[in-house]
């Protein structure tokens, strides 16, 4: 069966299916009950599954994650919602010092199947602490899996795959794309949770990104094609671990790569991917791997976000620089 859904509704449908198929799954977060969350991703779920499975929590992120750790130890599969990216930091110690390490501390005997949903990224004209891209903090932390869907179909399936994972998963949702519609095939997932995917074929330059940036990369590729340049676009989907196979295959065909991200560039996921591609495909590269990112400053006020966030023009400028080598 195929449905045309915005990403927010695809996530809602995925969460609903997980709640229906496994009575150990429960949701926790601030205002996720009658309100349905800030972005209405959990709308209607408390009404249908009750307040013991869709739990409105106090405004205490550290308490939410700490409680989820205990629930996971008791055999539950908690799915947590952090209202906005910048609100995750009060829970940072619980996530990186406890959640990420307890399985290793118990030599694998204890599993912590906790999913932490984090709306992240810009493009919504919000204030400070509401438009950040904190993925590098979590990809740097051993013991955490980190993923980010860019389409409605991926949102629907990846949230269910994350819930099924025996390990803790940071599930980054590109909030700017919550209302972007796409076809959702509810019969079978297209890919495993940690697989990257080529979303557009090309021959001259490989463009790589994740989350909301994939849409921008596709826009840049369409513009480049009108100017005679063929760009291939790769959606990472999984940020930790990274599936390098399709990415390296693409770079070996095109000889050039541009990585784009909303996060600041210094010690970022883009830095790691660029270094790894350079190490593993050095002799295939015709030019250095280039990066386009947010600037190394705190996320600016809403009127300046258009300057801060990479757009198609900045990506095309990097493509031109790559082709000039």
| Distance in angstroms (rounded) separating the CA atoms of residues 138 and 146 | 7
Write out the residue range of the structural domain in which residue 71 sits: 2-185
Encode pLDDT of 60-112 as tens digits: 999 999 999 999 999 999 999 999 999 999 999 999 999 999 999 999 999 99
CATH number of the domain bearing residue 309: 3.40.50.920
In the predicted model, is pLDDT for residue 126 greater than 90?
no
| Distance in angstroms (rounded) separating the CA atoms of residues 142 and 138 | 8
Report which of residues 305 and 323 the model is more confident about. 323
Encode pLDDT of 260-300 as tens digits: 999 999 999 999 999 999 999 999 999 999 999 999 999 98
Q: Which residues contact 135 (CB under 8 A, 6 or more apart)?
A: 120, 146, 148, 170, 172, 210, 239, 263, 269
Residues 6, 142: one domain? Answer: yes
Residues 202, 177: one domain? Answer: no
Residues 206, 173: one domain? Answer: no
DSSP state of 303: G
Cβ neighbours, 10 Å, residue 280? 13
- The SS3 call for residue 291 is strand
In a domain, 192, yes or no: no
Burial class (CB in 10 A: 0-12, 13-18, 19+), 227: exposed
In a domain, 56, yes or no: yes
In the predicted model, is pLDDT for residue 127 greater than 80?
no
Residues 136, 270: one domain? Answer: no
- Of 185, 210, 230, the position where a domain reaches its end is 185
Residues 219, 114: one domain? Answer: no
Q: What is the pLDDT of residue 231?
A: 98
| Distance in angstroms (rounded) separating the CA atoms of residues 80 and 82 | 7
In a domain, 124, yes or no: yes
| Distance in angstroms (rounded) separating the CA atoms of residues 239 and 135 | 8
Share of the chain above pLDDT 70, in %: 100
Residues 49, 107: one domain? Answer: yes
Residues 180, 206: one domain? Answer: no
Q: What is the pLDDT of residue 189?
A: 80
Average pLDDT, the chain: 95
In a domain, 41, yes or no: yes
Strand stretches in 238-289, DSSP E: 238-240, 257-264
Catalytic residue among 130, 140, 194, 210: 130
In a domain, 118, yes or no: yes
Cβ neighbours, 10 Å, residue 189? 16
- Of 133, 160, 185, the position where a domain reaches its end is 185
Phi, psi of 248 (to 5 degrees): -65, -40
Residues 110, 47: one domain? Answer: yes
Query: Pairing between strand 197-200 and 231-235?
Result: antiparallel
- Phi-psi group of 84: left, alpha or beta (phi > 0 → left; psi -120 to 50 → alpha; rest → beta): beta
Residues 169, 66: one domain? Answer: yes
| Residue from 286, 289, 165, 183 nearest 234 by CA | 289
Residues 250, 149: one domain? Answer: no
| Distance in angstroms (rounded) separating the CA atoms of residues 245 and 207 | 15
pTM above threshold 0.85: yes
Q: Is the dihedral of CA 53, 56, 58, 62 positive or negative?
A: positive
DSSP state of 300: P
CATH number of the domain bearing residue 16: 3.40.50.970
- Of 144, 159, 185, the position where a domain reaches its end is 185
Residues 13, 159: one domain? Answer: yes
Per the annotation, the verdict on 123 as an active-site residue is: no
In a domain, 190, yes or no: no
Q: What is the pLDDT of residue 124?
A: 79
Encode pLDDT of 32-43 as tens digits: 999 999 999 999
In a domain, 77, yes or no: yes
The structural domain count of the chain equals: 2
In the predicted model, is pLDDT for residue 223 greater than 90?
yes
In a domain, 311, yes or no: yes
Residues 42, 132: one domain? Answer: yes
């Amino acid at each position: 069966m195929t449905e045309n859904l915005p990403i927010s509704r695809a996530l809602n449908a995925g969460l609903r299916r997980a709640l229906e198929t496994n009575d150990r799954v429960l949701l926790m977060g601030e205002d996720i009950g009658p309100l349905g969350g800030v972005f209405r991703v959990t709308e209607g779920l408390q009404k249908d599954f009750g307040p013991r499975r869709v739990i409105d929590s106090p405004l205490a992120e550290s308490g939410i994650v700490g409680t989820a750790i205990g629930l996971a130890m008791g055999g539950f599969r908690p799915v947590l919602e952090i209202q906005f990216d910048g609100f995750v930091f009060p829970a940072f110690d619980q996530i990186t010092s406890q959640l990420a390490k307890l399985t290793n501390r118990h030599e694998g005997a204890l599993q912590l199947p906790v999913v932490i949903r984090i709306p992240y990224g810009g493009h919504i004209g919000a204030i400070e602490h509401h438009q950040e891209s904190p993925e590098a903090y979590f990809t740097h932390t051993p013991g955490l899996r980190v993923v980010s869907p860019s389409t409605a179909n991926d949102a629907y399936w990846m949230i269910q795959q994350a819930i099924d994972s025996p390990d803790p998963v940071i599930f980054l949702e590109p909030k700017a794309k919550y209302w972007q519609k796409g076809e959702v095939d509810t019969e079978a997932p297209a890919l495993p949770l940690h697989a990257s995917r080529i979303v557009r074929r090309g021959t001259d330059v490989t463009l790589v990104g994740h989350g909301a940036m994939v849409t921008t990369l596709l826009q840049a590729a369409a513009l480049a094609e009108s100017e005679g340049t063929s760009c291939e676009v790769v959606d990472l989907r999984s940020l930790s671990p990274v599936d390098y196979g399709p990415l390296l295959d693409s770079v070996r065909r095109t000889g050039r790569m541009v990585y784009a991200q909303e996060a600041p560039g210094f010690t970022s996921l883009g830095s790691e991917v660029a270094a790894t591609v350079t190490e593993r495909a050095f002799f295939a590269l015709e030019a250095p791997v280039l990066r386009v990112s947010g600037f190394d400053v705190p996320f600016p006020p809403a009127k300046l976000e258009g300057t801060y966030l990479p757009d198609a023009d900045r990506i095309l400028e990097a493509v031109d620089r790559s082709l000039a080598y």
